Amino acid sequence: MSMKEKFGLLRSSAVPLPDENIDTDQIIPARFLKSTTRDGFGDNLFRDWRYDDQGKMVKDFVLNSPHYSGKILVAGKNFGCGSSREHAAWAIYDYGFRVVISSFFADIFKNNALNNGLLPIVVSDAYLKRLFKTVHKNPATEIGVDLQKQTVEVNELEERFDINHYKKTCMINGYDDIDYLLSLNKEIRAFDLTH
Amino acid sequence: MNDVKPKTIFEKIWDNHVVKRADGYPDALFIDRHFIHEVTSPQAFDGLKKRGINVFNTQRTTATADHNVPTKDQHLPIKEALSRHQVETLRKNCKDFGIELFDLGHPFQGIVHIIGPELGLTLPGMTIVCGDSHTSTHGAFGNIAFGIGTSEVEQVLATQCILQYKPRTMKIEINGKLGKGVVSKDIILYIISQLTSSGATGYFVEYTGDTIRNLSMEARMTICNMSIEMGARGGLIAPDETTFDYIKGRRFSPQDKSFDDKVEEWKKLRTDDGAEYDAVLKFNATDIAPMITYGTNPGMGMRITDRIPKMEELKEISEQVSFKKSLDYMGLEPGSQLIGKAVDYVFIGSCTNARIEDLRLVASMVKGKKKAANVVVWVIPGSKQVEEQARREGLDKIFEAAGFELRSPGCSACLGMNEDKVPVGKYCIATSNRNFEGRQGPKSRTFLASPLSAAAAAITGKVTDVREFV
């Protein structure tokens, strides 16, 4: 079952990663996709940005910074482009993030995130800029996420975000797509015979 | 569904596969063919086991090992333990669940998006998915094909359906005659350079126009393959006589009378006059030249003789930061040219360009010539059948004489999951689809180009305008 926990309210400090077009090969390089389970990918999240080719920690990469931590990743636009590997969503979740905020997500990544209890939030370019500025200025700043109300808030400045009704219900209740599809079994069987 | 409203081919196929459309839910879309491979399927099979359910219809599922396999000594057990375990897990799952597997050593083994079409498993009008973003390749036959994540692989194994919202539609029309040395890879690299790596996100693309019509099936597959590189979920081309000729007589395609009946059906798979798209783009084939990428996403491409943009030519400051970081990674200067830049590796392979026509193109360029001393050249055929065909045609001899290494099929250095990696800091001109940081190995640097341009670079040892050769 892909859903790990129900999602309601979240309030947390954030990790800023302003790079644009962060692709899934950066999130989790292909050579770490050899596992046959869903666990443990967090160790290799952003592997080649966190460690150099000698395996030494890259000090100025944000995940290695002592200043930034939290359950929210704030990233530049077109986050998650490239490969369909769900391992990218697993790695981000496994590392401890529960929300990714950006002004634009790649399609498959967004689906994969939603299927794994990781909430992708699309905000306006202006709001994203403000988030980066605020978090850079004070890394302890907390960002509030209310999925029910579909709002994100920082320093009392709120923005509403879109999420389709079905996926929202799934996130809030911890439902899985398969449960719904399995309930259609009879209709699918009939369809299969005529196609 | 007999609405009178004119429809695009995409809408026709989609609507024909909706098992259930309910208020507040995405469409439950029936999937005709599901391709699986060793990397994105094990967790999905685990899910089935946990739920205690079987694969819905094993006849609609086809497996192969491609992403994580060695391209040397494929007859021996895989040396690397984790890779071996992953391939063995696929074997076990296919056996336990009764799925046909074209395993290492099987005459039909190969890159999943190459074997589907060549075996006649990929047909017009279908819905096709695979846990791989380049599933869009199959769209060249006039079907809806797209990549999915592992949770969705599990959904399809369990129910033969997937829950999806219908994407928007985009028409990309290209007309005119292609210039000397310009091939289908250049067309798609050009389109992506115009749209950027996110310009088609949320859309499903239909490629039209006489330039596309005049392409072979293999060339069309190269175009559809890279639809995802501009963010599109997939891309398709309406089927025509070229499509039907390609399909006829393939191993698993409909035969004889059944084939003729199907062709009549497939001929209806075209966009109606007056059907509306959410976006329409037009390009001129004469504007397209041999292309190359200079950055770390496929949208960062240019004509091979152009200069890399200067910082001040970029509009947004945020863009400038990513741009600078990208060029630093590549070891390149803004405003500089790539022509004459020395390369260390040449990779001819991947689901984008590892079909027999690609190998023929390369062979036609290198016949009687030798590779430059400073380059290592890997030719990785897309499938066992491509490899055999290349040998029958004597292409292997041409490659050998040129100092190229012809290996066994797999995804190889396209994503560097196996041992075929470009070393730290080295430049590789590649016929594959992604130039992301570290894609071909940690700190590797990739220039994406056509098989012709890659072959030219193999001979000269540097980035070369192929038009000087043809």
| CATH top class, domain A9-194 | alpha beta
Question: B315 falls in which pLDDT band (50, 70, 90)?
Answer: confident
Q: DSSP class of residue A128?
A: H
Average pLDDT, chain A: 95
pLDDT classification of B384: cutoffs 50, 70, 90? very high
Chain B residues in contact with A115 (beta carbon < 8 A): 149, 151-152
Kindly state whether A26 is in contact with chain B, defined as any CB-CB distance less than 8 angstroms.
yes
| Proportion of chain A above pLDDT 90, given as a percent | 92
Q: What's the mean pLDDT in B213-238?
A: 98
The answer, for B407 touching chain A at a CB cutoff of 8 Å, is no
Query: Is residue B24 scored above 90 in pLDDT?
Result: no
- Residue A116 clears pLDDT 80, i.e. is over it: yes
Q: Looking at beta carbons, which residues of chain A come within 8 Å of B132?
A: 83-84
The answer on pLDDT for A181 being more than 50 is yes
Q: What is the percent of chain B where pLDDT is above 90? A: 96
Average pLDDT over residues B84-102: 98
User: B51 CB contacts (<8 Å, ≥6 apart)?
Assistant: A1, A178, B158
pLDDT at A61 > cutoff 50: yes
Give pLDDT, residue A3.
Answer: 47
Restricting to B residues 123-142, those with a Cβ less than 8 Å away from any Cβ of A are 131-133, 135
What ipTM was predicted for this assembly? 0.95
Nearest alpha-carbon partner for B295 in A40, A19, A134 = A19
Domains and CATH numbers, chain B: 9-166+241-260 (3.30.499.10), 168-239+271-287 (3.40.1060.10), 296-468 (3.30.499.10)
| Predicted pLDDT of residue B347 | 98
Which residue in A2, A26, A53 is closest to B151 by CB distance?
Answer: A2
Structural element, H or E, at residue A185: helix A185-194
pLDDT band (50, 70, 90) for residue B319: confident
Distance (Å) from the alpha carbon of B453 to chain A's nearest alpha carbon: 24
Nearest chain B CA: its distance from A155 CA (Å): 23
**Rounded Cα–Cα distance for residues A178 and B150 (Å):** 12
Residue labelled with tokens 């507040």:
B24
Rounded to an integer, the average pLDDT of B347-352 is 98
Tell me the chain A residues in contact with residue B148 when contact means C-beta distances shorter than 8 Å: 84, 108, 111
> Tell me, what's the pLDDT at A1?
41
Residues of A in contact with B40 (CB under 8 A): 84-86
pLDDT reading at B10 higher than 80? yes
Q: What span, in angstroms and rounded, lies between the C-alpha atoms of A19 and A101?
A: 13
Residues of B whose CB is below 8 A from A187? 19-20
Q: What share of chain A is helix, strand, coil (3-state, %, to 5)?
A: 35, 20, 45
Q: Chain B contact for A133, CB < 8 A?
A: no
Q: What is the per-residue pLDDT across B178-214, written as a single tens digit (0 to 9) for each? A: 999 999 999 999 999 999 999 999 999 999 999 999 9
Contacts of B410 (CB under 8 A, 6+ apart): B66, B67, B69, B70, B71, B110, B111, B380, B418
The 10s digit of each residue's pLDDT in A94-104 is 999 999 999 99
What is the model's pLDDT at position B3? Answer: 57
Q: Smallest Cβ distance to B198: which of A104, A178, A185?
A: A104
Query: Across the interface, do B28 and A85 touch by the CB < 8 Å criterion?
Result: no
CB of A126 less than 8 A from some CB of B:
no
Residue-wise pLDDT for B134-161, tens only, equals 999 999 999 999 999 999 999 999 999 9
Q: Give the percent of chain B with pLDDT over 70.
A: 99
One-letter-per-residue 3-state SS of chain B: CCCCCCCCHHHHHHHCCEEECCCCCCEEEECCEEEECCCCCHHHHHHHHHHCCCCCCHHHEEEECCCCCCCCCCCCCCCCHHHHHHHHHHHHHHHHHCCEEECCCCCCCECHHHHHHHCCCCCCCCEEEECCHHHHHHHHHCCEEEECCHHHHHHHHHHCEEEECCCEEEEEEEECCCCCCCCHHHHHHHHHHHHCCCCCCCEEEEEECHHHHCCCHHHHHHHHHHHHHHCCCEEECCCCHHHHHHHCCCCCCCCHHHHHHHHHHHCCCCCCCCCCCCEEEEEEHHHCCCEEECCCCCCCEEECCCECCCHHHCCCHHHHHHHHHHHHHHCCCCCCECCCCECCEEEECCCCCCCHHHHHHHHHHHCCCCCCCCCEEEECCCEHHHHHHHHHCCHHHHHHHHCCEECCCCCHHHCCCCCCCCCCCCEEEECCCCCCCCCCCCCCEEEECCHHHHHHHHHHCECCCHHHCC
Number of residues that this document lists for chain A: 195
**Range name among B28-42, B303-317, B373-387 with the lowest pLDDT average:** B303-317
Q: What's the whole-number average pLDDT of chain B?
A: 97
Token pair recorded at residue A47? 């592997």
B222 Cα distance to chain centroid: 6
Q: Are B131 and B41 in contact (CB under 8 A)?
A: yes
Q: Please report which confidence band the pLDDT of residue A4 belongs to, taking 50, 70 and 90 as the band edges.
A: low
B425 touches chain A (CB under 8 A): no
Question: Cβ contacts (< 8 Å) between A35 and chain B: which residues?
Answer: 82
Contact A187 B19 (CB under 8 A): yes
Sign (positive/negative) of CA torsion B449, B451, B455, B458? positive
Q: What are phi and psi of A69, to 5 degrees?
A: -160, 175
Nearest to A20 among B46, B68, B322 (CB): B322
- Computed over its alpha carbons, how large is the radius of gyration of chain B? 22
Q: What is the mean pLDDT of residues B57-65?
A: 98
pLDDT of residue A5: 72
